[in-house]
Amino acid sequence: MFQSGKQIKFNYQERNAMIKVSVMYPNSAEAIFNIDYYCNTHIPMVADLLGDALKSGTVDSGLAGGATGEALAFIAMGHLTFETVESFQQSFGFNAEKIMADLPNFTNIQPQVQISEIRL
Amino acid sequence: MFQSGKQIKFNYQERNAMIKVSVMYPNSAEAIFNIDYYCNTHIPMVADLLGDALKSGTVDSGLAGGATGEALAFIAMGHLTFETVESFQQSFGFNAEKIMADLPNFTNIQPQVQISEIRL
């Protein structure tokens, strides 16, 4: 992460999160997504289950495409950071069933998941 | 953003960034993307041009899909935060031509852009 200011920081975040798991919910005419449940119930449950493996996270609620009239690609995105791919896989794998079973409580969308290296 | 710890923080980030502009570069067999140029030249140029309007940002370099064998959706993603949609539009609009003209220097991909409200 970098922040605005005189000295832009191009280092890894101080909490040593090196990878990001992005869970992206594609938008469509049929898409149902309860952002309040996601923020207030689902994410806290995930954070509780993953414990120390989860370093930080953000939740974005889609507003608009970048250009006027451009379709919104994702109705919501959750970005979760971990120290390593292995720490994500271990903590998630152990709890996958519980986490996935909660999805119908807030959405009918099959999320698109991506693992990235945090470069800035 | 929230961080792990005893007290999970569900407040907006202290730097008052309320919206996020995600610039996502779709992956494909033909995709060319120079992540080093993007991190070391393009993003610093964008940060310089947008000035105080840009509050913070992250750059993710795609590693893998979430499930074994799942295709990687985005070869890279840049997430830039602003206080308001208007502050993004004003600062970007003024510099759009310069910023867009730099894209061929690191990629042949047309990015997918989305504006989101930061909920957590």
Structure confidence by residue, pLDDT tens digits, B30-78: 999 999 999 999 999 999 999 999 999 999 999 999 877 788 999 999 9
Instruction: Tell me the three state secondary structure of residue B95.
Output: helix
Per DSSP bridges, beta strands A74-82 and B112-118 are unpaired
Closest residue, chain B, to A52 (C-alpha): B4
Task: State the best of B21, B83, B120 to mutate against chain A, taking most chain A CBs within 10 Å.
Answer: B120
Task: State the best of B114, B117, B118 to mutate against chain A, taking most chain A CBs within 10 Å.
Answer: B114
Q: Does A31 touch chain B (CB under 8 A)?
A: no
CB of A85 within 8 A of CB of A19? yes
In sequence order, the β-bridge partners of residue B57 are A2, B80
The whole-number pLDDT of residue B107 equals 98
Residues within 8 A of A (CB atoms), B 65-84 only:
65-67, 70, 72-74, 76-77, 79
Q: What is the ipTM of this complex?
A: 0.88
Average pLDDT, chain A: 88
Q: How confident is the model at residue B87 (pLDDT cuts 50, 70, 90)?
A: very high
Min Cα separation B94/chain A (Å):
14
